Structure formats: C-alpha cells, structure tokens
A and B are shown apart, each in its own frame.
Chain A
C-alpha cells in the first residue's frame, strides 16, 4: 500500500483549487478599474505567481495519477477500475482519461498550457483574460476535489482508495490493507491507438474555445469592444481545426472499432461536440468579417459566447447522467449534476448579462449589404451553421426536457426519434447543400478582382460543377444505383464548392499571392460532404444471402437480411464475392500477423501457449514445436478470405471479437480492407459463445490396427503408425515416462488433410490421455487403450457442432474523401492561423519603419 502518492495528489488538487481561486481574484483586482495593459503591478505579480503555482499543482496531480496507474497501485479505485497487469503502456495513457476525473484533469491541464501561452503571446491582455481562465479553472478543479463540506460532496477525486469506495466488501473487516492482485481492466473497446490521441485532441479543442470567450469577456469588461478580435482570431482558427479534427478522430475510431457500421451514429455524446464546433466555425466567420470588412462584430460576440456556453452544456449532457438510456457511451454518473448546473449557469448568465449590458455600445456597420457583397454570403453561411447546430441541440436535448419537466412535476415520456439518421439527415443534408453553395459564392466574391464582373468569376466553376454532376449521375446509373433528387443537389453543391474554391486558389496563385488557408479549408469541407454522401448514401451490403437457400419464415423482410452464416472452411457466395471463413486466430507478440489457434496449445496461464507446430510468418520461423509463447487472449480474430468474383482480386480480413463480461458479452470490432475508392468493412455479428464449454458428444470407441481407415460421417481418418512421442504440448516429459502417440491423417472437406497425434502417457503406472482436437472438423480423438498383445488400439471419438460465424460485410464507397477532406480542412485552418500571425507581425513591423516585407499581400479568409 502506498498512501503517499494519493495524499500528494489529493494535496495537489486542493492546492490547484485554492491557487486558481487566488489567481482569479488577483487578476480581477489587477485589471479592475484600469485600462487594458495597465494592470496593477503588485496584484498582477500575485496573480501570476498563483497561476504558476496552480500549473505546478496540476502537473503534480497528473504525475501522481499516472504513477498510480503505471505502477498498478490497485489500492486506489481509479487504477483498479480502469487498468490491469497485462495492459500495454500506451493504453495506460488511455486509462488515464477513461473516466470523468481523468478527462477533467486533461481539460484542466490544457487550460494551464493555453493560459501560459496567452501570458507569452498576448501580454497586454493577460490580466482580464486570465481572470476568466482562472475562474473557469476554479470551477473545473472543484469537479475533482472530492471533499465533503457541510455534508455536501464536492467533486469526485481520482485518488479515492478502493476501501473507501467499496466500503461494504467483507474483506476490509479481516484485512483492511487488502490490495487486489489485478485490476479489472480497461474497456477493450478503448484499447485502440485512436483512444490514445483522440481525447487529448478533443479536449485541447474544448480548451481552445475558452480563449476567444475569455478575450470577448475581457473586451466587454474593459470596453475594448473591437480590439479583442485580432489577438483572439488565430486561437479561434486553431480551435476550429483541433476540435474538428478531434471530432473526426472519434468518428474514425468508431468506424474502426464499433460495429454499428459507420463513422457517425448521432449518439448524444457525439452530438455534444458537433454542436459547439458548428457554432465555433460560425463565430470564426463573424470574427473574420469584423477583422477584414469591419462588419459583423455583434454576431462575433454572440457566437463566441454561444460556443463556450454550448461547450458547458455539452459537458453537462455527457457527464451529469441526464442522458440515461439515450446514449450508449456517456460517462458514469458521479452525482456531479448540481455542480455542473452551477458551472453552466454561472458562465451562461454572467456572459449573457455582460453582453446585453454592452450590446448597444458594440459598433455596427452602416454598410448596406447587397447580393454582390461577400459579407452577406458569409453571414448566410454562419446562419446556416447555427441553424444546423440548433436542430441537433433541439433533438439531443429531449432527455433534458423530460428531466426538467419531471423536476417541475410534469410527467413527460418523450424519447429520441426512432430513426435518428432519417431525422437528422432531413435538416443536415440541406444545411450541407447551403454550406456548399454559399461558401462557393462567398469565396469567389471575396477574392474577385475589383474590375472583374461577378458573372465571369462564377460562370466557369458553375459550368464545370454542372457538367461533372451530370457525368457522376450518369456513371452512378451505369453502375446500377439510383440517385434521389436531394442527393443530386448535394452532389452539385459539393462540386460547386470544390470548383469555386479551386478557382479561388488558382486565381490567387496566378496573381502571385500566398495560398489562402480559408479556400483550402472550404475545399476540405466540400470533399467531406462528398465523402459523406458517397459512403453513407451508397453503403452497399455485401453479406446478403445469395446462396439460393430459402428461409421460409421471413421472405417478406429480405431487406433486413444483412448477415450471413459461414461454416468454418466453407465458401459462401455473397453479393459479388466468394467468402470463406478460415478459422480462429490470435495475436502473438513478436510474430507479424496472427497465428491460427489450431497451432496453439492453451495452458493454464491465459497469456501463454505451447506451439503445436512451426509458427511461421512468411519464410521466417518464429517458434518451433513445443516452444512456449506469449499470446494476447482477449481478442479472437476470425479469418475471412474474400475473392472478388468480378476482378479475381483476393484479400483476407480478420474481424475480431472479444469476450467482455463487463460489457455483458462479446464485443465485435470490424476489419477493413482499404482501396483507393472504397473500403470493405466487415464484422462478426455472432459466433458460438466461446465462454461456454464445448458440448462433446459421448465418445464412441473404435478398435483399429496400424494401417486401418476409420470412417467418421463426412470424413475419414487413416491410422498410419504408432510412435514414441518426444514432445507433448503442455506437459514436460520426465525420465521413465512412456509416451506413445498415434500418427493419424484425417481428411476433411475438399480433401484438406489434418495431422492428429493423440498421446497415451504412462507415468508411474498411471495412464494419461492427451486427446487431439481437430477444431476445423469438430472432432476429438483420444487414444484410449493399447493392447500390445493383439496389436490393437482403441480410439475414442467425440464430435461437436461445427464452428461458424455470422458475418456482416458492407462496401463504403469513397470514404477516403471524408478523411482526406478532414485533413485538408484542418490544414487550411492552421494555414489561415499562421497567415494571421504573419499579418500581425507585418503590421507590427510597419510602424518601426521596417517595410521590407510589408508589401507582400497576405491572403487570409
């Protein structure tokens, strides 16, 4: 038992809390009643010191929590509940943020980093901006405080001891210092490299939304109603990129790991981050409008505040337990709802009140917008983004309406829509169409050289988009797919956005101007729209039963028959493919690929096996017969061979399933085969339960002599010889042992042959049998008796049902457009952030007389 680490960590949390409160007060006093950049020096010094102490304390807490997980200190509930002895190091990092406390800590950590960044890059703004930061930090640290004040529990500490968490266990009475030998393990679905980088990215995105919010509040407070936009802009662009890429990383993880058959499921937890991202992007556009065209400042203010409030609302949704049954992966309810509501209400009411108070003083543009001004189109685009976000928030909040109505005594039984995909698509598809069209028009107008008529700038991209759309529709028809009107319109809008943005980039390049980050980001969004349209709209089920076998019961509902049964080693005909299930495999560390379980003799130690034959990968032999090797038993990989009937192309996929008592059964994860223009996505829907003992039929004895052939239903076995066994898997032979093995060849389907060596072992006048199991055929052969006088051998043969899998396979056309578009969008946003910084450096250099680089026009939008 090591109580020191926990105590140190707990002390760190309390210090971080107190220091954040001191820093908040200090910065508040430093900035109060003084103009921007003229903060009170002594208060500033105190506040800055407190913020440094806060940062150091947060770092200590992080180190302590990681130490507990890394060194398997199971006396702590956090380590016990989320980790285990066999967990690889990289996944210990994911344990860190698997639960609420760790993910709060991650978020707090990013705020510290960003706060230090603002101290360095935006010195003038330090006091008022960090006053907001430190206040937020005080609230966030209170969530992991874990202290009881006047009978009210505040926060949930990650350093709680197992014995304090599970007080009722009888073991504490006999042994208060009991420490479990192993942890209960990380949810296997989270044992994925995306879960190592997705949460930090997402929380960095969350944290970055605080920056524009803090600047906006500082601007309202210090009556710097226009100057805050410029320093906040690069941070906002970075936030848009990081949050957007973070969301898509989550989508990619879901695509690769979960088996709902896609990358987006409209789960409230997914929606909760999608909503603020949409509004953040709208806010970014408002800020750019002000910075470049001196209009839209009120929009920028309102949307920046809305983004942060929506982040808080998302936090409340996913962490308070209000979603209940509505989400499959919200966090555990830690009873923090009250605290989360106070947090949400404090900032929402405070910020909105301050904004309302200053609203009349926020300058507005007198410019009348016409259809030729790009500002109008940017406004429309931002509005569409907000309306799209509004739909998702209105529907995702249904459990909140129930909870609220229940709270005031009205019984409500509203549930999320039965068909969520249809519900959301109805609005989101048209939002996508409008975004495509509006962003295209706005880009062209924004970069249009003053003399060129609008019609000229738009004509070429429009013509090209129409032509390409016609071509794609014809090709889609040619390949036998229908295309509904909304899809055609979305296709046209996406292509229009691509053509206009490419033409904008090309036009700028011809004029010798830098690459526009905005145009690149918009191009990325357009590609994402097309990727979503193709992969979700034209996802094609391959695993339809086309073998001609009639299933009497429900021929009416053939549309739903998306899963097929495949017997081991039998080939099934599916939609365009011949598919064969070729056995179960395990991951053996050090051996590339997977190893067939028929080559592995399992031992008492779950993580060890003995090789029954040469373990090879390619030409290299990694283990010889009888070697002991380490295995990872959690995942079973089901080898499925595909043969494309049209092209003759062959490939092998290993969809996996893991036994997971915690999640209540078997968890299947898909396997993907990637082609440039489509993915083949397949997962196991069901297998015979591997946890159940195999039910063997009663053994039937067969008496054979060497050379005899034995007929077993569909197979036959030749008993070729009896020989001395030198190696017996799983047993160490001692001197004096007599071990005999039968050499048999069993011929199965398609003439496939299996060597079987059942062993008869004599040790100290005791007989032992080591049967041979031919998994592929469901056969167990035991060498039961030996009659040396007559030369007769008795074999006991049992059989079991053959192994099978239920498989679902789909084709996802052009999904790479979505991932590629995401990267392009992120790249474009980061580019525009850098350009903004460059623009600022140029502007800063000018007054000093160094105009060397100032003539270079910087393209930003």
Chain B
C-alpha cells in the first residue's frame, strides 16, 4: 500500500526523523491559513505540493493548462491562488498516463534552504532476506539512473534484523555521504530514524529523495528529509490500524477497489482479452499465453484457490465493466476446487450478466467431467478448449474477429 508524502512524513516524524514543518489540506482557505502560520513562525517561503501517488509532480501539467504540481510561494495570498488552481483539478505527469489524476490534497510546508542533496532508502534485500540501506551522494535524481551510470556512488549496508541498525553503522553511512563534524550525528540520527520507521511500520520501502543538508535561519545546518515515499506491506495492516486508515481509494483504479471487496486479485491492463484464472502463477502465465498467440491481455485476475459462485459472478461483472474487452478466457485448474462448482458459477454469471461476448472456457482437474457437462447442457454460448495453448489461440482469434 502506497502512502502520500504527507503521510510518510507524519510516520517519519513520529520516529524521530527531521522533516520540514507543514500540514496537508483539502481547501484553498486551509492552505492559506497553514501558510500564514509558517510565515508567522519566521519562514520566508513555503512550498506547496500536490499529494498524488505518482512521480513527476513538479513537471506535470493540469488539464486546463495550469503548469506544475509543486510551487514555491512568498505570500499567503499566492498560496491561496495556486491552491484554488490545483485542488479539484486533474494533472497529467509522466507517470499518470493520459487520464491524469485528480488532486484532492495539498501539502503546504516550509521551503528549506537546501545546501546539498543526497539519497537514502531502506528496503528488503531479497537475495539475503535482510534489510538493506542504500545511500548515495547523488540525491534528487532518479536512483535507477545513478545505478546505471555511476554505481559506485551508491553505498549499501545490510542490517542484521535481529540486532537492528547499530549507531556506528548509521555514522558510517553518514560519513559515506560526505557529512562532517556535527552533521555526522544529525545524519546518523536521521538514518536511524528512517530505518526504525521502515521496521516498526512494516514498510516495504522507505525512500528519502532528496535527503538534504538544510540551512537554519540562524545559519546553522541540519540534515532533513525533504521528500519521502513510503509503501507498506499490505500483509501487516492488521497490526497497524492507524496506517490502514491512510489508504486513499482515490488513488486506486475503481475496478481494482471493487475487486478487492470480493477478495479477487484484479489488475487492469490495456488489452482486449479478459481472463479469469485460479492462482497467481497460472493467471500470469495465462496472460503470457494470450500474448504468445498474438493477443493482448485486458487484465490479471486471480479468483483464488477456493472461489465461490458469488466470486465468479463478481469477477465477470468486473471484467465486463472494462469497455475494451472483446473476448473472455476462463482458465481453471481445479486441483481441490470442484470444477463443477466453477462451471455452475460461469453459467450463472453468464446468465446474470446477459453475456454476449465470446467466452472460451478451459477446465481441468477435480470432477472435470461433471463441470464440462454443466457447461454443455447450460445452453449458454461458449467455446471449450482442452489446453491452455488451445484456449489462448481460440480466445485471441475470437477477440480479433
């Protein structure tokens, strides 16, 4: 589950990480009053950032032509004006696709005087099954690009999960960033706080980019997390009620939210061949088979190991809400699951949804004869297939017809 920047910064601050002062808001009036408070505290400039789960916000363009999802303002009036232009408006960035994303929330924060920029991330190292901290002196840029062009600039540290990050390790990472003197302690404290956030919040990833040396009004310096991205391990949400409430359904595709209500794992794609499969691996490879025979999958859909008639019906309804779909492939390997139950579900769903699209069904496994009989005697129009390859070929040719 992805979090917004302002939510990420709230969690980081709770774990002792220095973040620029600021608050989220959903109206222009709120934006102005947050800005007024920041100016009253002595800040010379505020930054306002749209809160969407997508990168490239600064360079994005709104549908009405207004430019940029990140703005620096020197007066509260300016903040109000820009907030009015952005809230409720839809922005297109390099990551949103043409449909863009509607802006519901802004973060208004103090604009720090940045001296230098670094990169910091904590994630799981899948090769060793240990936490991995990555730091780089090249901050504020795409880390994947750094990894490609200048891999030596990235310093990695594996943490023993049973011991946790030790203070000397955090200091060494701070030194690796080139921090000196008192800033080593400021940096080490921040790195330790970010690791703690990752661990205690069950994060999949915490990324601070940029991590900055900033100058205080009195000229002294400190290390702060100027931007932050956090994603949380969905399996852990049962023990983080507060974080679970941070889920923003506005940021998720409507059909995917609908599917999750029925415990269906659905991901919308751009093709026109829909598929309904039991099991994640089989669902992925069904998409691959469709592609292999020249088609384009419209979705990933795993109905799980013990799908019920209700789930199959819900799955059909979700598939049919995608206007691109031209044909449907049902691929079920009923190991333990009774194929006849699935067949009954398919028949009920086809009748309930008044299905007119071509439907190809491949059933294999437990009680398959009864399942095939249910399908053939149902009177619904469908094409049967006897292997995945056969099914994929048939559904691709139906979609192209």
User: Do A and B interact?
Assistant: no
